[in-house]
Amino acid sequence: MPIKTHKIRLYPNAEMVTVITELMDYNRFCWNKGLEAWNTMYTESLLMKNKKLRPSGRKVRNELVKSKADWQYQMSARVLQTAVHRLRQAWKNFFNPKMPDARKPKFHSKRDPKQSFTTDRGTVNGKFLTLDQPHESTHRFTKIKMAETLRFTGKI
């Protein structure tokens, strides 16, 4: 099944702009913390010469969840999970000999002009996008107006 990309302009209100900005910052935070944990686990496994200590997506995710700060419970847990999943995929691509152009994962910067976050809990209803609201969020989540409806059907 081919993957289709559909770029749609969004018109969030001021509160949702704040939410999206915080989610992008949290995504970068999770990626960087995950990469730090991954590098630490990998270095320890090499020093101890123990392959059982090698990092995996599950080990890194469990480490990040175990060391979660109070403010992180106000953010979507899916952002943390998808950041770790993307990190695992980046390492997998790096070590895959069939992907010679894949680079070693690096830390993300706030100065990077392309910021993003991913979630699989967002829903589209007509011309509106709804993001999942964490239980302890202090923000008022509303629907985000889209410039147009989706032009194709299938899994989003």
- Which pLDDT value is given to residue 148? 93
* Domain edges within the chain: 10-146
pTM across the whole model: 0.87
* Amino acid letter, residue 118: T
pLDDT value for 152 = 81
The pLDDT tens digits along the chain (156 residues) read 677 788 889 999 999 999 999 999 999 999 999 999 999 999 999 999 988 889 999 999 999 999 999 999 988 889 999 999 999 999 999 989 998 888 999 999 999 998 888 888 888 999 999 998 888 888 889 999 999 998 887 777
Please check whether residue 132 is in contact with residue 7, taking contact to mean a CB–CB distance below 8 angstroms.
no
Question: Which DSSP letter does residue 104 get?
Answer: P
Nearest to 60 by CA among 82, 70, 49, 69: 82
Contacts of 22 (CB under 8 A, 6+ apart): 75
How many residues are listed for the chain in this entry? 156
pLDDT in the model for residue 1: 64
Residue 83 burial (CB count, 10 A):
26
